[in-house]
Amino acid sequence: MASVVRSFSDLSPREVLALALDVERNNAQRIQKLADLHIGRDVAVQRVLLEMRDEELEHERMLEEVWRGRFGDEAKPPIKEIEVREVIEVVDVEAGMEFPLDETDVSDALDLVHRAELAAEAFYRGAAAATDDDELRALFSELADLEAAHINHVEERQQAQYRTKTLP
């Protein structure tokens, strides 16, 4: 049976929090798969991907703490990424596969990470705007700010990588 596609703004605070947890968990798994493809190939590419995976796991941990504080052991609503109409923070594994593994370099990995971080910031800004719950709004705003910091960090690394590539 196909799931009903809903608008993000129609979700309850419980559903928004459960969705954010699902997204972070799934992204960590997707990024791990990409990193695993680089075992024995390019350690620098693998390192970039593993750093991003660790950020996803930290966000999941933060969200899980909020869930336990608010809802204890209550089951999470079974909402999944594919059930929400708007684009949310999803690492595009297929985009990560668009370049041959033997030719993938740190710049490619940083580009993938940059796209994901931009989507993540937009996701959390949208979540903050969509909820009437002050605690969730504050949490989602904090996560959006963390993603913005990650974007700046990735952009600095991209610029450094570009300078390294263009120096004679």
CATH of the domain at 154: 1.20.1260.10
Q: Name the pTM for this structure.
A: 0.75
Residue 163: its H or E element? helix 134-166
Secondary structure (3-state) at 6: strand
Report how far Cα 160 is from the mean position of its chain's Cα atoms.
Answer: 23
Asked which of 32-36, 52-56, 91-95 is least confident by mean pLDDT, the reply is 91-95
Does 160 reside within a domain? yes
Asked which of 4-8, 42-46, 103-107, 137-141 is least confident by mean pLDDT, the reply is 103-107
Does 49 reside within a domain? yes
CA distances from 103 to 41, 42, 69, 145 (A): 10, 10, 46, 33
* Cβ–Cβ < 8 Å for 131, 137: yes
Candidates 52, 63, 58, 73; CA nearest to 19 is: 63
Its domain, for residue 126, covers: 11-166
Does 123 reside within a domain? yes
Does 4 reside within a domain? no
Whether pLDDT at 166 is above 70? no
How high is the pLDDT of residue 1?
Answer: 45
Average pLDDT (21-45) is 83
Supply the mean pLDDT for the chain. 79
Whether pLDDT at 95 is above 50? yes
CA atoms of 137 and 130, how far apart (whole Å) = 8
Highest-pLDDT range among 84-98, 113-127, 152-166: 113-127
User: Token digits for 24?
Assistant: 């972070």
Residues 6+ apart with CB under 8 A from 76: 14, 18, 21, 67
Does 142 reside within a domain? yes
